[in-house]
Amino acid sequence: MKSETELRSTRADIPDRGLVWLNGQFLDFAAARVSVEDRGFQFGDGVYETIRVYAGTPFAIEQHIERLSRSAAAVELELPMTGGEFAAVVEELIARSGLREAEVYIQVTRGAAPRAHPFPTDVPPTVVMTVRPVRPIPRRFRERGIVVKTFPDERWARCDIKTICLLPNVLAVERARRAGADEALFVRDGLVTEGTSSNVFIVHQGEIVTPPADHRILAGVTRGLILEIARACGYRTHEREIPLPELKAASEVFITSTVKEVLAVIRVDETVIGNGEPGVVFRRLYDVYRSRLPGRGPSLNGEPVEESR
């Protein structure tokens, strides 16, 4: 087994390796340790956020930290830091890592205590923040669109809380990929809810439609930004339920997420969407979205998409 000194000598200041902040300490990934009795490990008792970093700047950090606070309150987990303190650590983490194109992951659990279902008393939460190079999105996804497969939504009834209990999502996306698809969409009682790590939109009779932000979905930060952009571009938007047949009959379908940004869907199960190519509404919205990002400009309608490295 490596000694602690050897582990700490695995330098995190080489950009492609990333960096960890764990309960007040900056560490490399090899040196970071949490207890085997941490409730995140034992019960999935925690909440999280992922923030995209562009040109060294954490994008929409205020919205992400606000949602982290809402998720924590919903599971009765008192955050040990203020929103400003979270933001300050994120900024320093990025600066120390030297990464320009990255993703920051924040996770807060109820802490480490002997395994028992009731909440422990006088136990401090475990706070982990990491930064590492962003997962690259294949250029063909941007240019040609993606394929999705639908699965029954068998998750719990509070999908609006961003908890670390993601096994149904993991199983669905794995089964989708085994079937040759790029993402899985959940369907509950005949209604499309969301993807395993994305929100879903359709274009129906000139209107942009997305499922309502209720307990059945996680209201994504990118989802909110795309709705704002769509309205600013003059599109009519509607947040309502989407039956699966309506989604398959839509002229366009696209998904949104922090890391995926916006991706057109060209096939759902065996049904080709529209003409089987990314549509004009997707292209317009993504182009405007991209222009709002730090260090970015036009993408699909102008310069080629710059993929993360």
Same domain, residue pair 182 and 287: yes
Quote the number of domains for the chain: 2
Residue 259 has what pLDDT? 96
User: Where is the domain boundary, 84, 113, 133?
Assistant: 133
Same domain, residue pair 47 and 108: yes
Residue of 2, 149, 162, 260 with catalytic role: 162
Same domain, residue pair 153 and 204: yes
Q: What is the pTM of this model?
A: 0.90
Domain assignment of residue 304, yes or no? no
Q: What is the mean pLDDT of the chain?
A: 92
Residue 89 has what pLDDT? 98
* CATH number (domain holding residue 215): 3.20.10.10
* CATH number (domain holding residue 58): 3.30.470.10
Same domain, residue pair 76 and 128: yes
- Binned at pLDDT 50, 70 and 90, residue 17 comes out as confident
User: Is 162 part of the annotated catalytic residue set?
Assistant: yes
Encode pLDDT of 229-267 as tens digits: 999 999 999 999 999 999 999 999 999 999 999 999 999
Same domain, residue pair 122 and 152: no
Q: Give the pLDDT mean for 79-92.
A: 98
Q: Give the pLDDT mean for 9-28.
A: 74
Domain assignment of residue 215, yes or no? yes
Which residues 6+ apart lie within 8 Å of 186 measured at CB? Answer: 150, 151, 152, 153, 155, 172, 192, 193, 194, 195, 196
Domain assignment of residue 222, yes or no? yes
Nearest of 26, 29, 49, 45 to residue 37 by alpha carbon: 45
Same domain, residue pair 168 and 204: yes
Same domain, residue pair 128 and 188: no
Same domain, residue pair 120 and 32: yes
Same domain, residue pair 86 and 162: no
Same domain, residue pair 55 and 17: yes
Same domain, residue pair 99 and 159: no
- Distance, CA of 21 to CA of 39 (rounded, Å): 18
Long-range contacts of 293-301, Cβ-Cβ distance < 8 Å, separation of 24 or more: 293/54, 293/59, 294/54, 294/55, 294/56, 294/57, 294/59, 295/54, 295/55, 295/57, 296/54, 296/55, 299/142, 300/142, 300/143
Residue 141 burial (CB count, 10 A): 19
Are 307 and 139 a contacting pair, CB within 8 Å?
A: yes
Domain assignment of residue 296, yes or no? no
Domain assignment of residue 188, yes or no? yes
Domain assignment of residue 91, yes or no? yes
Domain extent at residue 129: 7-133
User: Where is the domain boundary, 79, 108, 133?
Assistant: 133
Encode pLDDT of 275-298 as tens digits: 999 999 999 999 999 999 998 755
Encode pLDDT of 200-211 as tens digits: 999 999 999 999
Beta partners for residue 106, in sequence order:
49, 129
- Binned at pLDDT 50, 70 and 90, residue 300 comes out as very low
Q: Which of 16-30, 105-119, 180-194, 209-223 has the lowest mean pLDDT?
A: 16-30
Same domain, residue pair 123 and 146: no
Domain assignment of residue 225, yes or no? yes
Nearest of 37, 20, 40 to residue 29 by alpha carbon: 20
User: Where is the domain boundary, 65, 98, 133?
Assistant: 133
Length of the chain: 309
Residue 14 has what pLDDT? 43
Domain assignment of residue 301, yes or no? no
- Binned at pLDDT 50, 70 and 90, residue 4 comes out as very low
Are 75 and 47 a contacting pair, CB within 8 Å?
A: yes
Residue 215 has pLDDT above 80, yes or no: yes
Structural tokens at position 283: 């292209």
